[in-house]
Amino acid sequence: MLVVAYDNRSDFEIDETVLEEVEDAMVRTLLHQEIEVECEVSFSFVSTSEIKDLNREYRDKDSVTDVLSFPMYEDFINNRESIIKDNPFLPLLLGDIVICIQQAKAQAKEYGNTLTRELSYLSVHSVLHLLGYDHLEVDEKSVMRRIEKEIMGDD
């Protein structure tokens, strides 16, 4: 159902069990959204300096962030039938996810989560972005947060 191409460009070694949990979270997201074709995601762990550079370049924000998502398709969730039908190749490339491992560690500590839990949440959040969800507007944010909670099993 999901092929993940991992790239660790951070100084932090990622344990295989963490990657399994992250991948499971992404698969749960696809299942929740009823995506029934094999998909591929490019997934990179990067340093604070690299994510800051990417954030500045692509979002005009000169600051460190936890995660960036680069969708292959605009509004996939509302156009999935035509995107899947028009794409003869599988797995279907959804896009790229870039996570700053140091920022994720800091947030995990701040929120009282494990690093695995934080990375899983960021992965769910990012896959939803790849599928066309956003949180710029209040109503969009409400929908996205509700879906994240459902997938993560939060009340």
For residue 32, say whether it is annotated as part of any ligand binding site: no
Mean pLDDT of 72-94: 87
Residue 155 has pLDDT above 70, yes or no: no
What's the mean per-residue pLDDT of the chain? 92
Mean pLDDT of 67-93: 88
The encoded tokens of residue 104 equal: 């994720």
Mean pLDDT of 48-63: 96
Mean pLDDT of 149-155: 86
**Residues with Cβ < 8 Å from 99, sequence gap 6 or more?**
43, 44, 45, 46, 51, 66, 67, 119, 122, 123, 126
pTM of the model: 0.92
Q: Is 19 left (phi over 0), alpha (psi -120 to 50) or beta?
A: alpha
Specify the 3-state DSSP secondary structure of 95.
Answer: strand
pLDDT at 28: 96
For residue 135, say whether it is annotated as part of any ligand binding site: yes
Structural domains of the chain sorted by starting position, each given as residue range(s) with its CATH number in brackets = 2-152 (3.40.390.30)
Mean pLDDT of 137-141: 80
Report whether 38 contacts 90 (CB < 8 A): yes
Q: How does pLDDT run across 116-129, given as a tens digit for each residue?
A: 999 999 999 999 99
What band does 76 get if pLDDT is binned at 50, 70 and 90? confident
